[in-house]
Structure 1
Amino acid sequence: MTAEQLGQRYAGDCAYQAVGNSVVIHADCLEWMRRVPGECFHAIVTDPPYGLKEYDPEQLAKRSNGHGGIWRIPPSFDGHTRSPLPRFTALNGKEREQIEVYFQEWAMLALRVLYPGGHLFLASNVFLSQTVFAALVRAGLEFRGQVIRLVRTLRGGDKPKNAEEEFPDVCSMPRGCYEPWGIFRKPLPKGMTVSECLRQFQTGGLRRKPDGNPFEDVIESERTPRKERMLANHPSLKPQSFLRQLVYASLPLGEGILLDPFMGSGSTIAAAEAVGYSALGIEKNPDYYHLSLTSIPALSALDVKENQMSLQLP
């Protein structure tokens, strides 16, 4: 199926654009996932919003203006300026419950659009992963483990707020050194083996690395390089060196269609293009949707040395 045919089949009345072998669609993912045909995607790799409103235009404007809103605008530290991040640690019980309900509903739609045996890679964080992963399991997805993205940042490790001098040897929480990505699978039909699922649906397992070794659940990563952030200005942009490894593993036979329902500026779609896959990206923010039209081909063309990565301090 060509990219244009992919768009005509799945865009409906939404604006869409073919980009290489892939298609990006301007739509709300929940509404879109309710409308499309069931069991039509072989894998999902996505980095969703977690505050449910941090990417609203009003909140993004506050972030850009340095006023914060739901975004925490950290001070500089040892000559480094930290990136703004959503205030996940300040969520109250009701907000956490809303996140749980939202992701259970979303996971049920993910089950609807995935082929049996299709895998789902979901980016998370240490504050919310337990809540969100449990919601996906309640919806009916199988929890298959998690990928630990080892990446050192300047987040966390702060001294007690407004009492830094009084308690100089205390940090309020650990400095973050990893990012958890949940691995889930739509259950295989009763009695079906993985090999049978692979033959019928091209799903059920994970693709081994190009050198033949198994895909591993700990990946040393880097902070997203400046050249990538310049091409795709999104606050939660992940590096191509990491995304390409997840995307490659998600289609066990290297065949099928990958879905990213929270596309942002298109980094996952770019990773799919880079490894030769076809993908579909959904994004409701018009600015990010239009940005993806240029960022996807630019990011996918980058020469990324996945096997030469190491942990990088800021």
Structure 2
Amino acid sequence: MSRTEILGPLGLFGDVSQERSRTRAEYQIFNADAFEWMNEQPQGSVHAIVTDPPYGLKEYTESETKKLRNGNKGGIWRIPPAGRAPLPRFTVLTDSDLTKLQEFFEKFATAAMHILAPGGHVMIATNPLLSHVVYIPMIEAGFEKRGEIIRLVQTLRGGDRPKSAEKEFPDVSVMPKSQWEPWGLFRKPCEGRVHDNLRKYGTGGLRRISGDLPFGDVIRSSPTRPQERAISNHPSLKPQDLMRQLVRASLPLGKGTVLDPFMGGGSTIAAAVAVGYQSVGVERDAEYFNLAKAGIPRLSELS
């Protein structure tokens, strides 16, 4: 059974009890399965999706999440030295895992096509190892690939010497040191020309930074700040500096509703609040849902 938190009246998803948010924008958050929830909503009821989905799937299963929360080093999660955030090791995924992952994104693409208004964009975080598993299902579902947004960021991934043979091969790295994170950019086809779609739905393009400066596809981004993790310590929490730029660009006229169906610690919703957009977040895990519930107002207030 899903749980709903209503932070300000959006009026999109039925007759629900409401309380007024004290923050700068209105949002709703749901403790529910993302696919079930998306497929139950009216067609074309949101205007953009900005999300960081669970890429290994298994990293957020009950057994792997339990290991992570207990600080265990086994399983898919790489637990680094104290003070650094854990990362899932996608190189441990089997062929069966990859097949399930592709099926997952096929379901996501179908649900996203249903819930998005014509011309609505999807901004979806991925990584160089698995981006193809996301992009192909999105294109096959009918989305237009509109490019990639490159987040320039140093991570813990890659650059390691061969395990158990570091001294034998000191000048060899198994993989390049990761210095970027791709975000796939997709658009549901417009109805007619872009300006027709903008007039009817408020979607079809990306919001410019200013009259002279368009939104660009390269964003320099530091890792998530310690003060943000202190508020919402989700292992995949994205920094507010990045998320506010992405969320702002996702609604070309600054109007509409942004959806994050894999809300996690609430960084997308907090970013939407900070830039003044209506938003909706969905999170299946009850503990992360409560983390986001408490953290969104505080994250949105950070400068």
**What TM-score comes out, normalization by structure 2 length?**
0.92
CA distance in 1, matches of 2:14, 2:297: 20
Equivalent residue number for residue 160 of structure 1: 162
Q: Secondary structure at the match of 1:106?
A: helix
Size of the alignment, in residue pairs?
Answer: 295
Paired residues of 1:24 and 1:282 also in contact (CA < 8 A):
yes
Corresponding letter in the other structure for 1:182 = G
Paired residues of 1:67 and 1:73 also in contact (CA < 8 A):
no
Equivalent residue number for residue 216 of structure 1: 216
Paired residues of 1:44 and 1:258 also in contact (CA < 8 A):
yes
CA distance in 2, matches of 1:12, 1:32: 16
In the TM superposition, what is the alpha-carbon distance from 1:146 to its structure 2 partner? 0.5
Corresponding letter in the other structure for 1:33 = M
Distance 1:93 1:56, change over 3 A: closer
Equivalent residue number for residue 139 of structure 2: 137
In the TM superposition, what is the alpha-carbon distance from 1:184 to its structure 2 partner? 0.3
Moved more, 169-178 or 85-94: 85-94
Distance 1:174 1:63, change over 3 A: same
1:26 aligns with 2:46: no
In the TM superposition, what is the alpha-carbon distance from 1:170 to its structure 2 partner? 0.4
Paired residues of 1:146 and 1:180 also in contact (CA < 8 A):
yes
Paired residues of 1:197 and 1:203 also in contact (CA < 8 A):
yes
CA distance in 1, matches of 2:195, 2:39: 30
Paired residues of 2:237 and 2:267 also in contact (CA < 8 A):
yes
Q: Secondary structure at the match of 1:183?
A: strand
CA distance in 1, matches of 2:162, 2:141: 39
Moved more, 85-94 or 37-46: 85-94
1:5 aligns with 2:9: yes
> What do the CA deviations read for 1:196-227 (whole angstroms, capped 9, x no partner)?
00000000000000464100000000010000
> What do the CA deviations read for 1:129-153 (whole angstroms, capped 9, x no partner)?
0121111111111110010000012
CA distance in 1, matches of 2:257, 2:202: 10
Paired residues of 2:78 and 2:88 also in contact (CA < 8 A):
no
Distance 1:254 1:293, change over 3 A: same
Equivalent residue number for residue 44 of structure 1: 49
Corresponding letter in the other structure for 2:9 = Q
Which runs of no fewer than 5 residues in structure 1 stay unpaired? 304-314
Distance 1:109 1:75, change over 3 A: closer
Distance 1:289 1:117, change over 3 A: same
> What do the CA deviations read for 1:96-138 (whole angstroms, capped 9, x no partner)?
1111111011111100000000000000011100121111111
Equivalent residue number for residue 293 of structure 1: 293
Equivalent residue number for residue 177 of structure 1: 179
Distance 1:12 1:73, change over 3 A: farther
Distance 1:74 1:25, change over 3 A: closer
Paired residues of 1:22 and 1:279 also in contact (CA < 8 A):
yes
Equivalent residue number for residue 3 of structure 2: none
Equivalent residue number for residue 104 of structure 1: 106
Equivalent residue number for residue 275 of structure 1: 275
Distance 1:233 1:211, change over 3 A: farther
Partner of residue 148 from structure 1, selected from 137, 147, 150: 150
How many percent of aligned residue pairs carry the same amino acid?
49
Distance 1:147 1:17, change over 3 A: farther
Distance 1:291 1:253, change over 3 A: same
1:263 aligns with 2:266: no
Corresponding letter in the other structure for 1:251 = L
CA distance in 2, matches of 1:93, 1:17: 47
In the TM superposition, what is the alpha-carbon distance from 1:65 to its structure 2 partner? 2.2
Equivalent residue number for residue 248 of structure 1: 248
> What do the CA deviations read for 1:270-307 (whole angstroms, capped 9, x no partner)?
0000001010000111111111122111010011xxxx
Corresponding letter in the other structure for 1:70 = G
Corresponding letter in the other structure for 2:172 = V
In the TM superposition, what is the alpha-carbon distance from 1:34 to its structure 2 partner? 1.3
Paired residues of 2:102 and 2:133 also in contact (CA < 8 A):
yes
In the TM superposition, what is the alpha-carbon distance from 1:59 to its structure 2 partner? 1.4
